[in-house]
Amino acid sequence: MLLPPLLLRPSLFCPLTSPLLTGCVRTLHRASPRAELFLRRPPSRLLSGSGGRKWGGQEDEWRARNRTVLMYIAATGVGMIGLSYAAVPLYRLYCQATGLGGTAVSGHDADQVETMKPVKERIIKVTFNADTHAGILWNFRPQQTEIYVVPGETALAFYRAKNPTDKPIIGISTYNVVPFDAGQYFNKIQCFCFEEQRLNPHEEVDMPIFFYIDPEFADDPRMARVDTITLSYTFFQAKEGQNLRLPGYN
């Protein structure tokens, strides 16, 4: 029963450099021929030769793969950063064109404005809201709280802004429409949104919004219960590198 410890740790009983090695081998040979073969095997064969070269080749291959993966990760990161900078203006243009997210549709078809027929039996109340970002010291408010319109009819409303400070301030506004689904039918003919407005010290100006609601609003079953639409504007101080919040989202 002492043979397994002797085979696992032969140096405790018989050092390889000892003159008694020959005697130990003979003794172990009588107990187990495999033990003698293990002691006579050159240790260098366990660490060198084709096995070592194969291990070195695998290590080089793993390093090359790791470098490739890191390059892909770095390229993906740079691409995501670029997309994040482009996302805001692209999304804003898309919202203005489609009315997504409560954004009123920008632009209008002159022929449609001239030929569209008002839907007299569908009366809609349009309310107005005004907000300012904490970074701008303007007084900003709507000139009217609400007006009544019908689809296919143009309407004119006004906002008023005042700079009560002793220095000029440049502001820029964004807007949205609630409910959001009504934004695709809310068309602006004239608007002060997304344009820089400079107010000198203590200057006060009126800002018009000329709009209409598309006649197709009355045919959309999703709008059947919509009798009130709210138009909200928010002014920010125009600064280099500042991004406006997305229309329709706080």
Give yes or no for residue 27 having a pLDDT over 60.
no
| Model pLDDT, residue 68 | 81
Give yes or no for residue 73 having a pLDDT over 60.
yes
Give yes or no for residue 38 having a pLDDT over 70.
no
Kindly report the pTM of this predicted structure. Answer: 0.54
Burial level of 243, CB count in 10 A (0-12/13-18/19+)? exposed
| Model pLDDT, residue 62 | 78
**Top-confidence residue, 218 or 1:** 218
**In this structure, are residues 164 and 139 in contact, taking their beta carbons and an 8 Å threshold?**
yes
| Model pLDDT, residue 56 | 65
Is 141 strand, coil or helix? Answer: strand
| Model pLDDT, residue 221 | 94
pLDDT bin (cut points 50, 70, 90) of residue 53 is low
| Model pLDDT, residue 98 | 42
| Model pLDDT, residue 49 | 54
**Top-confidence residue, 124 or 23:** 124
The total number of residues shown for the chain amounts to 250
**In this structure, are residues 144 and 247 in contact, taking their beta carbons and an 8 Å threshold?**
no
Q: What is the largest CA-CA distance in the chain?
A: 118
Backbone angles phi, psi at 113, to 5 degrees: -60, -40
CA distances from 123 to 43, 140, 187, 224 (A): 97, 28, 17, 12
Query: 19-33, 73-87, 201-215, 227-241: lowest mean pLDDT where?
Result: 19-33
Distance CA 142, CA 97 (A): 25
Distance CA 171, CA 198 (A): 6
Single out the residue of 147, 143, 160 nearest to residue 211, CA to CA. Answer: 147
The per-residue pLDDT of the chain, averaged, comes to 74
**Top-confidence residue, 180 or 43:** 180
| Model pLDDT, residue 243 | 54
Amino acid identity for residue 107 in this structure: G
**In this structure, are residues 56 and 42 in contact, taking their beta carbons and an 8 Å threshold?**
no
Give yes or no for residue 20 having a pLDDT over 70.
no
Distance CA 76, CA 207 (A): 44
Q: Region 147-169: what's the mean pLDDT?
A: 95
